[in-house]
Amino acid sequence: MKPRSGTVQPPRFVPAATVKVPRFVLAARATALLWVLVALGLLVPDGIAEPGTALAFGVLVCIGELAHRGGEAAPLGTAGALAYALLGHCGGVPTTHGVAQVVVVSAGGSALGMLARRSRPSSDRCARRVLTVGFAAVLFQPAYNSGVVDDWVGHGGLYALFLAVLLALTGLCEAVLAAALLAARTGHPYGPLLREELRGLRGIGSAVCASGVVMALAVGVVGLWALPVFCVPLLLTQLSFRRYGEVRDTYRQTIASLARATEIAGYTRPGHAHRVAALSAAVGREMGLSGDEVTVLEYAALMHDIGQLSLVDPVPAGATASLPAAEQRRIALLGGAVVRQTGVVADVAVVVERQADPYREQPLTARIVRTVNAYDDLSGECGGGLGGPLSALERLRLGTGRDYQSEVVESLARVVARGVALPPPG
Are 355 and 280 in contact by the 8 Å Cβ rule? The answer is no
Distance of alpha carbon 113 from alpha carbon 245, whole angstroms: 21
Amino acid, res. 312:
V
Instruction: Spell out the per-residue pLDDT of the chain, length 426, in tens.
Output: 333 333 333 344 344 344 467 888 888 889 999 999 999 998 888 888 888 999 999 888 888 887 766 555 567 788 888 889 988 888 888 888 889 999 999 888 888 887 777 665 567 778 888 899 999 999 999 888 888 887 787 777 788 788 888 888 888 888 899 888 888 877 777 887 888 788 777 766 677 777 778 888 888 888 888 888 877 777 777 677 777 777 777 777 777 777 777 777 777 777 888 888 889 998 988 888 877 888 888 888 888 888 777 666 666 665 666 677 777 788 788 888 877 777 777 888 888 888 878 778 888 888 898 889 888 888 865 444 444 778 888 888 888 877 888 888 888 888 888 776 555 444
Q: Tell me if the pTM is above 0.75.
A: no
Sorted by where each begins, the domain ranges of the chain are 16-249, 260-418
Query: Is 1.10.3210.10 the CATH classification of the domain at 260-418?
Result: yes
Burial 91-102 (b: 16+ CB within 10 A, else e): eeeebebbbbbb
